[in-house]
Amino acid sequence: MTRLTDAWKSHLLSTLSGSSEGRPAWVDRLEDGGDAGFFGPGSASWAVHGELPTMVAGIRSLLMQALHPGALAGVHDWSRYREDPLGRLSGTIRWLMTVTFADTATAVAESQRVGRFHERVTGTYLDANGDEREYAAGDPELLDWVHSVFTDSFLACQLLWGSPIPGGADAYVSEWAKAGELIGVEQPPRSAAALKEHLHSVYAAGTLKHDERVAEIVHFIRNPPLSRGVLPAYRVLFAGAVASIPREYRELLGLGRPLFPAVTTTRVVLGGVRRILGRRSTSEDAALRRIARISASV
């Protein structure tokens, strides 16, 4: 049993971080720097991003992003998600963990790195009315949608499967608005109610749509090329992500509510993963060592 658990842990860590030890090279830089970062211990962002519901939130966020034809066009035209899905996943995790746990200078630099990549992501797409539009990944509308569904997904999954958030949902949305600003979002929502209202306004405006591109990426997210050891657990987490999405967005995605109790089953799977991986991420550990060093030098 121990050998089986170790093998599954190695598979899982490789999937999430690109390293069978669960500590990619960029984590080392989280120990450097001279401040606690934008959030720090006890913050809502540390609480949410340091827990395992992020595994479900990442899936949910990708599904929601796909509903905006401009955001999806950038993924379809420029992303190598088919050839290197884990590389794209590890890149997103790197940005998330760096902005959350690094010192402020490193968080800004990482966001600028992502921004430089976005500069070359341009093209055209057909909007929900069938009109051709130009896009760039740095367009305010697209940045706004990606940030909003990211925040909404991580908040929703934490409320379903995680520990209580320090300061509540509003604290998380307000704090994580800083991450939106770092990547160029001009006026990110700063409360849970404002976030919900904003997402509904995009839906009500008829901006979102379902087409063959959405169906293609939903199929890929449902059936990624993961190892056989990880795939059964992933399928449960996918179902949990779908169950957590409000009905109107699920219908646009062409997805029905799972036929089994996905929320409960996801809680069981996350509990098993927690027992295997432990409660704290290597990123949080690195940040705590940085903060302890700073405190000791004062």
Judge whether residue 219 has pLDDT over 90. yes
Q: Which pLDDT belongs to residue 227?
A: 78
pLDDT digits (tens, 9 = 90+) for 20-72: 555 677 888 999 999 999 999 999 999 999 999 999 999 999 999 999 999 99
Q: Which residues contact 183 (CB under 8 A, 6 or more apart)?
A: 111, 114, 115, 118, 143, 147
pLDDT > 70? residue 199: yes
> In which band, very low, low, confident or very high, does the pLDDT at 5 lie, cut at 50, 70 and 90?
very low
User: C-alpha angle 186/209/87, rounded to 5°?
Assistant: 65
Question: Cα(63)–Cα(277) distance, rounded to whole angstroms?
Answer: 26
Q: Across residues 240-250, what is the average pLDDT?
A: 97
H/E stretch holding 150: helix 140-161
Q: What is the per-residue burial (b if ≥16 Cβ within 10 Å, else e) of 150-160? A: bbbbbbbbbbb
- Tell me what pLDDT residue 92 has: 84
Q: 160-180, pLDDT tens digit by residue?
A: 999 999 999 999 999 999 999
Residues in the chain: 298
Task: Please work out, in degrees rounded to the nearest 5, the angle formed at the alpha carbon of residue 236 by the alpha carbons of 223 and 83.
Answer: 25
So what's the pLDDT on residue 84?
A: 59
pLDDT tens digits, residue range 67-105? 999 999 988 887 766 665 555 667 788 899 999 999 999
- pLDDT, residue 23, reads 62
87 vs 242, more confident = 242
Q: With contact defined as beta carbons under 8 Å apart, do 101 and 286 qualify?
A: yes
Q: Which helix (H) or strand (E) holds 85?
A: helix 85-101
- Domain residue spans in the chain? 2-291
Percent of the chain at pLDDT > 90 equals 71
Average of per-residue pLDDT across 137-160: 96
Least confident of 27-31, 91-95, 144-148, 181-185: 91-95
Structure-model confidence comparison of residues 206 and 138, the more confident one: 206
* Contact between residue 181 and residue 108 where contact means Cβ atoms under 8 Å apart: no
**Percent of the chain at pLDDT above 70?**
88
For the chain, the helix, strand and coil percentages under 3-state DSSP, each to the nearest 5 = 65, 5, 30
- Whether the predicted pLDDT of 269 surpasses 80: yes
pLDDT at residue 1 in the model: 41
